[in-house]
């Protein structure tokens, strides 16, 4: 037995396909908008600094939303320009020697209310989890940035442990800093993969 769908069913299917295509197109646009971008060199006296940092957990990892480095000569502070996963980029830095200053995972901001019997408790989840760098570790990150070049500060990994309160908070501990040739090579390979058209590539050595 042959089945010929009624005209209105065909129209509905056509509109459903069109709606699906629109949704897919919208998702692709949104995803492309989330891709990391990096400004080009602003002059021969400016450099690029790459830093990898994350707090690993049993499942997944947390990356800091706040990350600041400081120039040793004058105490000038700089936040990252762009981020790609665990890699952070500080573009167009003036020449100088830099160290990490602060790194923090910022979680929450939502208000939660719990009720037990006649007791109602309200609290705001807004935990800032700071990487507890020792003075020796901060000194170990010191990196010289030269104009017209790309520098690597290191790969910083830590242990992230979920805390009972406030909910969602992460306690950061056991920091390790890897400045090996292997870590540097991984960072540069990741940059070449994700910023294939960047003019900074010609400045990598």
| pLDDT tens digits, one per residue of 21-41 | 334 333 433 333 345 789 999
User: Distance from CA of residue 11 to its chain's centroid?
Assistant: 45
The highest-confidence range among 83-87, 105-109, 162-166, by mean pLDDT, is: 83-87
Do 79 and 67 contact (CB within 8 A), yes or no? yes
How far is the C-alpha of 91 from the C-alpha of 29, rounded, in Å? 26
Task: Categorize the per-residue pLDDT at 205 as very low, low, confident or very high, splitting at 50, 70 and 90.
Answer: confident
Task: Categorize the per-residue pLDDT at 51 as very low, low, confident or very high, splitting at 50, 70 and 90.
Answer: very high
CA-angle at 85, arms to 82 and 88, nearest 5°:
35
How far is the C-alpha of 64 from the C-alpha of 62, rounded, in Å? 7
Helix residue ranges, H only, the chain: 7-33, 135-140, 181-194
Task: Over range 133-150, report the average pLDDT.
Answer: 97
pTM of the model: 0.76
Average pLDDT of the residues of the chain: 82
């Amino acid at each position: 037995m042959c089945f010929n769908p009624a005209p209105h069913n065909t129209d509905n299917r056509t509109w459903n396909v069109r709606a699906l295509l629109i949704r897919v197109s919208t998702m692709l646009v949104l995803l492309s908008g989330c891709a990391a971008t990096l400004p080009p060199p602003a002059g021969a006296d400016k450099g690029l600094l790459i830093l990898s940092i994350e707090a690993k957990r049993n499942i997944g990892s947390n990356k800091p939303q706040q990350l600041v480095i400081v120039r040793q000569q004058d105490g000038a502070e700089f936040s990252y320009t762009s981020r790609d996963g665990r890699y952070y980029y500080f573009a167009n830095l003036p020449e100088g020697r830099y160290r990490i200053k602060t790194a923090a995972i910022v979680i929450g901001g939502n208000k939660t209310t719990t009720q037990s019997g006649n007791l109602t408790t309200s609290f705001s989840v807004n935990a800032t989890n700071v990487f507890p760098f020792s003075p020796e570790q901060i000194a170990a990150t010191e990196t010289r940035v030269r104009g017209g070049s790309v520098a690597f500060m290191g790969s910083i990994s830590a242990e992230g442990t979920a805390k009972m309160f406030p909910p969602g908070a992460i306690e950061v501990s056991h920091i390790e800093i890897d400045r090996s040739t292997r870590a540097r090579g991984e960072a540069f390979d990741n940059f070449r993969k994700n910023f294939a058209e960047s003019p900074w590539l010609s400045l990598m050595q």
